[in-house]
Amino acid sequence: MGGEWTNDLKEMLKYAKASNIKTCLYTGQDNVSPDLKSNLDYLKTGKWIKELGGLNSKTTNQIFQNVKTGEILNYKFIK
């Protein structure tokens, strides 16, 4: 969380996937490259905007997604 990735991150993600470890990236950007996405199981995108809230808010601009299926999982965080 925080900051953005480097080539080192891509290599670590590849290692994690090869070791059957689930991977997830949180970024303030709205999207990531297909190359990076190919090594992720989950992806959370969207800049934090206090007024809109986080994933537990129905008004959030952030998206939590299962990369393989494309399913948006925000509903799992709303009580």
The residue extents of the domains of the chain are: 7-77
How do residues 1-19 score in pLDDT, each as one tens digit?
455 566 788 889 999 999 9
From the list 59, 57, 67, the residue with the least C-alpha distance to 27 is 67
Q: What is the mean pLDDT of the chain?
A: 91
pLDDT at 4: 58
| pTM confidence score | 0.86
Res 42 pLDDT > 90: yes
Pairing of the two strands 24-26 and 42-45: parallel
* Nearest-angstrom CA–CA distance, 68 and 39: 10
More confident residue, 31 or 64: 64
Under 8 Å between Cβ of 72 and 42: no
pLDDT of residue 33: 86
Long-range contacts for 58-63 (Cβ within 8 Å, ≥24 apart)? none
